[in-house]
């Protein structure tokens, strides 16, 4: 984590105790969540009581708080300038929306064909890129905040209008081509839009209003020097809280069927590694700076697990194999993408050492 910390603190300021051992806290949060869910079975039931439809209130609060500080740092007026990179954006679109879903489909069929519920859940995970956690991973790896905000906005709109079409194509058309009976997935644009509004709209709008109000009343310098440093620790605390809740909800299942967890985890790890590496090297080839490449690569590698979980629970039920696969997704993503944060810094040393990027 030294590379991560150096990037976040280029002048080698004294790091806080939490910053120095970020990876350790994340793994401890995972262990704590599993332990609570396994040794106190009623905890998951109690947490699920605080849900509205397929949205768990605790998870929503954790994700919203986690995204708020990084979004406050974004200079929204500069987003249009950052998006004026047609080659890089086209490559991002092709890899994220064409190669990504197809790769996850192939991995799901190859590894989980004999367990169709898990296979379906994995396919659903691959249908949409991340619009929440990617902001956090980009921040940890010192990526371009304006670019990731622009990509998140574009991907959110695409998800709202095309997720149902993607689901129909892969579950009704592609699966039969591989000798597997097609599966109907009835999910409306309104339902997807609701999920996007909760996990992206609330923190995005709050961050935008924060910048407008504070810049007008206190000035931009005060915002950058006083307010942002004060709220920055919220991201880590909310991340740890979210991880504990996620693992707690499925703690008993994870311990009871560990081999099923591994079956779902393996194709996910392969997906993260391939997508991140592919996008990073293509981005470098196209001339992307390190900061831009981080935003592009984490956008390509991450998935919208919030939407996948909501869809799986809404369509197949909370106790379905599809919902189980959806919950396992972020449990695998957290440690995998934390590792990729460090990989990003390693690649910066290897590929950007002679540039100012």
Q: How far apart are CA 85 and CA 289, in angstroms?
A: 12
71: Cβ contacts below 8 Å, ≥ 6 apart = 135, 149, 203, 204, 206, 207, 208
Beta bridge partners of 51: 56
Q: Is 125 within 8 Å of 311 (Cβ atoms)? A: no
- pLDDT (tens digit per residue) in 25-45: 877 888 898 899 888 888 888
pLDDT band for 23, please (50, 70, 90 cuts): low
Looking at the predicted structure, is the pLDDT value of residue 58 above 80?
A: yes
pLDDT in the model for residue 201 = 79
The domain locations on the chain are 2-16+78-224+256-351
Q: Is 23 helix (H, G, I), strand (E, B) or coil?
A: helix
pLDDT band for 236, please (50, 70, 90 cuts): confident
Q: Is 321 helix (H, G, I), strand (E, B) or coil?
A: helix
Q: Is 315 helix (H, G, I), strand (E, B) or coil?
A: helix
Q: Tell me the mean pLDDT in the region 277-294.
A: 94
- pLDDT (tens digit per residue) in 176-222: 888 777 566 566 666 666 766 777 678 888 988 999 999 999 999 99
Looking at the predicted structure, is the pLDDT value of residue 107 above 90?
A: yes
Q: Which CATH number fits domain 2-16+78-224+256-351: 1.20.1530.20, 1.10.10.10, 3.40.30.10, 2.70.70.10?
A: 1.20.1530.20
pLDDT in the model for residue 355 = 58
Sequential DSSP letters for 185-252: ----HHHHHHHHIIIIIHHHHHHHHHHHHHHHHT-HHHIIIIIHHHHTHHHHHHHHHHHHHHHHHTHH
């Amino acid at each position: 984590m030294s590379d991560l910390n150096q990037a976040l603190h280029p002048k080698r300021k004294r790091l806080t105790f939490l910053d120095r051992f970020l990876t350790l806290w994340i793994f401890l949060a995972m262990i704590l969540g599993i332990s609570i869910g396994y040794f106190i079975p009623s905890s998951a039931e109690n947490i699920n009581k605080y849900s509205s439809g397929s949205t768990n209130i605790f998870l929503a609060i954790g994700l919203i708080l986690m995204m708020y500080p990084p979004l406050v740092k974004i200079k929204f007026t500069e987003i249009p300038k950052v998006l004026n990179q047609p080659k890089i954006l086209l490559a991002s679109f092709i890899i994220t929306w064409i190669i990504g879903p197809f790769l996850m489909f192939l991995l799901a069929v190859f590894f989980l064909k004999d367990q169709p519920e898990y296979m379906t859940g994995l396919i659903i995970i691959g249908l949409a890129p991340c619009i929440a956690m990617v902001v956090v991973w980009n921040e940890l790896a010192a990526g371009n905040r304006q670019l990731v905000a622009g990509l998140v906005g574009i991907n959110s709109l695409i998800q709202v209008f095309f997720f149902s079409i993607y689901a129909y194509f892969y579950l009704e058309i592609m699966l039969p081509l591989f000798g597997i009976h097609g599966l109907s997935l009835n999910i409306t644009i309104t339902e997807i839009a609701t999920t996007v509004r909760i996990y992206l709209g609330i923190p995005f709008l709050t961050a935008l209003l924060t910048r407008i109000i504070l810049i007008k009343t206190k000035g931009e310098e005060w915002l950058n020097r006083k307010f942002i440093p004060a709220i920055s620790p919220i991201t880590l605390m909310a991340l740890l809280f979210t991880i504990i809740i996620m693992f707690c909800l499925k703690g008993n299942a994870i311990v009871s069927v560990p081999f099923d967890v591994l079956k779902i985890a393996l194709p996910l790890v392969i997906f993260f590694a391939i997508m991140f590496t592919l996008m990073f090297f293509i981005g470098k080839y196209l001339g992307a700076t390190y900061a831009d490449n981080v935003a592009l690569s984490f956008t390509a590698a991450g998935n919208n697990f919030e939407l996948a979980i909501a869809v799986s629970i809404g369509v197949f039920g909370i106790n379905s194999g599809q919902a189980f696969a959806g919950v396992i997704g972020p449990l695998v993503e957290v440690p995998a993408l934390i590792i990729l944060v460090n990989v990003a810094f390693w690649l910066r040393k290897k590929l950007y050492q002679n540039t100012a990027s």
